Structure 1
Amino acid sequence: MTKFKTLLPTSTAGSLPKPSWLAEPEKLWSPWKLQDEALNEGKQDALRVALQEQVHANIDIVSDGEQTRQHFVTTFIEHLTGVDFEKRKTVKIRDRYDASVPTVVGAVSREKPVFVESAKFLRQQTDRPIKWALPGPMTMIDTLYDDHFKSREKLAWEFAKILNQEAKELEAAGVDIIQFDEPAFNVFFDEVNDWGIACLERAIEGLKCETAVHICYGYGIKANTDWKKTLGSEWRQYEQAFPKLQQSNLDIISLECHNSHVPMDLIELIRGKKVMVGAIDVASNLIETPEQVANTLRKALKFVDADKLYPSTNCGMAPLSREIARGKLKALSAGAAIVRNELKLTLA
């Protein structure tokens, strides 16, 4: 298992904004502006830029900023057999908003690696620990229309096997943390506990690198912010999945904290796990002050040991401007540094 030298190692939850020459900025699902070999070079250049932004902001655990993919779920699915992207249906994603999605028309399989070459490229660019995000099985099935298995659970188990194949090759490519994005865990509570967590454990089977599950309240898009307004003064969704996740084989649980109505004491339910604490609000253009970040981390430290706390963003930042995302990265790093110094003084 990976040992990180830095106390409170910082990271992002996922995406960073793409450069305007690669895709339309501040927009999800934005189509590529380049094609063929120019697109491959453009993705690598954007990855370099995203990495440099993280290094410049003193982020400890770096990622590709998801520069090489159009969408955090569908880009993976595009590379699988058994899914027809021409045959589309409108479904309600996470019981929140309608989207036109591809259809599962037969057995699903992964004929070749999806992100492994990009992960190798990132590994060549940096000596820092790297994290790679994959969609979780439940979030994958929620982003499709199933016309073959006719069972969310059966399809999820098939995806778990495929994800495990990809994860093992990512680990061999030098990835230190593999993160599975499961925003669906905050919605389908019965399924999460009946088979969702077990399915995720199938996806991490045999891995020696660290594994994480990222559960948030979604990107800062209108459909998600409108939904949040209906959740009342306390958001207790994590309470449903945390007890079983605490018993799972996953190493790290990633959650949304800053500017949310999540009671911080829910972290007690995952005591013993490493916790990626979202200390940056991705649904706001206001750049946090380092002290605001530090304050979120201090609250979290009441419920998680310092050596298990990983400061992060609430979710991905693809819909934000590059300038704002840059400022938020720097605030995250500076806020973590404040608390890190306080802890060192306490331990001295």
Structure 2
Amino acid sequence: MKKLLPTSTAGSLPKPSWLAEPETLWSPWKLQDEALIEGKQDALRVSLQEQQLAGIDIVSDGEQTRQHFVTTFIEHLNGVDFENRKTVRIRNRYDANVPTVTGDVSRQNSVFVEDAKFLRQQTKQPIKWALPGPMTMIDTLYDDHYRSREKLAWEFAKILNQEAKELEAAGVDIIQFDEPAFNVFFDEVNDWGIATLERAIEGLKCETAVHICYGYGIKANTDWKKTLGTEWRQYEEIFPKLQKSNIDIISLECHNSRVPIELLGLLRGKKVMVGAIDVATNTIETPEEVADTLRKALQFVDADKLYPCTNCGMTPLPRAVARAKLHALSAGTDIVRKELSV
């Protein structure tokens, strides 16, 4: 029997301090060569165990083997020059020094498949793997070759599809595409963003998800959120088209956000990963707070389609905080499971 309200995380979990600088995005590795490979695998095992001890149902690698959710994938592609960097505005929010697309982009070898096989060997639970989505990839680069966001997105979609098919073959149950850019470029999302995402999932038999959040709890994101007013209706622009898309699961930010919960009704029929843990604060949610977020979501999402989750990745948080938040997610979900089974 399939578990009701299966819990999962949006993706990243904090890395151990022996592997990388804690609470830091883009933190450089503290190990090298063979020691780094071994260290990443050890961190993956630890991350998996922490999820299991917290009672998380759909587990992940906690993104322990990658420095950053977008650039680590791009580093493995041809046509992108990491030496030749330019400053660009990321998601209209903050400036970053990013690599340049200098030629046709292509993928010679798989990027995460060996890591996914390693995770698969460690557990019999369902596993989820995150990849950057095409639109978020183009927003994290300077394009000096295609000079067209749409053209480059289609090229990335093809490459992501190759990777996704190999991840599926390695035993991944859910492949998630991270698209925080979907909360910013609404016209592009509707014009070609969702279409490129569907190209990335073409031919997959495993479940697919798109994670659309308001970002990590870093200052640039929290400052931006303050400009969004009392109601965050960004999702309203793109939900109708996502509801009609071939993506199986939509992953969203709900707890402590100003997203009107009734917007979930626009996704009726889709599975929804409901973010019930705020990643922008070190305050640990109580199980009752988690349960309350889930109860609100259940007014608009059928119980068999609701997946309790975190709002976003937890890389910038202290490990003890992330761990406690995972336990709260499970405990809060248990409260609602019991209510549903009465």
So what's the TM-score if we normalise by structure 2? 1.00
Match of 1:10 among 7, 10, 14: 7
**Number of the residue aligned with 2:73:** 76
Q: Say if 2:129 is the partner of 1:153.
A: no
Structure 1 residue 5: Cα displacement: 1.4
Question: Does 1:224 pair with 2:221?
Answer: yes
Runs of 4+ with >3 A deviation: none
C-alpha separation between the residues in 2 aligned to 1:294 and 1:128? Answer: 24
Matching of residues 119-268 of structure 1 within 5 Å = 119-268=116-265
Matches of 1:74 and 1:64 in 2, distance apart?
17
**What residue in structure 2 maps to residue 281 of structure 1?**
278
- The Cα of 1:90 is off from its aligned counterpart by 0.2
What does residue 340 of structure 1 align with?
337
Q: Write the letter of the residue equivalent to 2:79.
A: G
Q: Secondary structure at the match of 1:214?
A: strand
Q: How does 1:13-162 map to 2 (within 5 A)?
A: 13-162=10-159
Alpha-carbon distance in 2 for matches of 1:218, 1:270: 21
Deviation digits for residues 95-130 of structure 1, max 9, x if unmatched?
A: 000000000000000000000000000000000000
CA RMSD of aligned residues (A): 0.5
Q: Identity of counterpart residues, as a percentage?
A: 85
Pairs aligned (count)? 342
- Residue 313 of structure 1 corresponds to 310
Instruction: Give the partner amino acid of 2:314.
Output: M
Distance 2:35 2:24 in 1: 21
Superposition deviation, residue 201 in structure 1 = 0.1
The match for 2:328 among 309, 331, 343 is: 331
One-letter amino acid matched to 1:192: V
Q: Distance in 2 between matches of 1:88 and 1:236?
A: 34
Q: Deviations over 1:124-183 (max 9, x none)?
A: 000000000000000000000000000000000000000000000000000000000000
Could you tell me which amino acid in structure 2 is paired with residue 143 of structure 1?
T
Q: Secondary structure at the match of 2:100?
A: strand
Structure 2: how far apart are the matches of 1:15 and 1:282? 11
Q: How far apart are 1:279 and its partner, in Å?
A: 0.1
- State yes or no: 1:303 paired with 2:284: no
Gaps of 5+ in 2: none
CA distance in 2, matches of 1:267, 1:16: 26
CA distance in 1, matches of 2:341, 2:225: 37
SS where residue 107 of structure 1 aligns?
strand
Structure 1 residues 24-55: Cα deviation after superposition (integer angstroms, max 9, x where no partner): 00000000000001000000000000000000
Structure 1 residue 265 displacement after superposition: 0.2
Measure the CA separation in 2 of the matches of 1:147 and 1:183.
23
Q: Deviations over 1:210-266 (max 9, x none)?
A: 000000000000000000000010000000110000000000000000000000000
C-alpha offsets along residues 285-329 of structure 1, whole Å, 9 cap, x if unaligned? 000000000000000000000000000000000000000000000
SS in 2 for 1:228: helix
AA paired with 1:140?
M
Equivalent residue of 1:217, what SS?
Answer: coil
**What is the identity, as a one-letter code, of the residue corresponding to 1:210?**
E
Structure 1: distance between partners of 2:266 and 2:139: 26
**What SS does the aligned partner of 1:32 have?**
coil
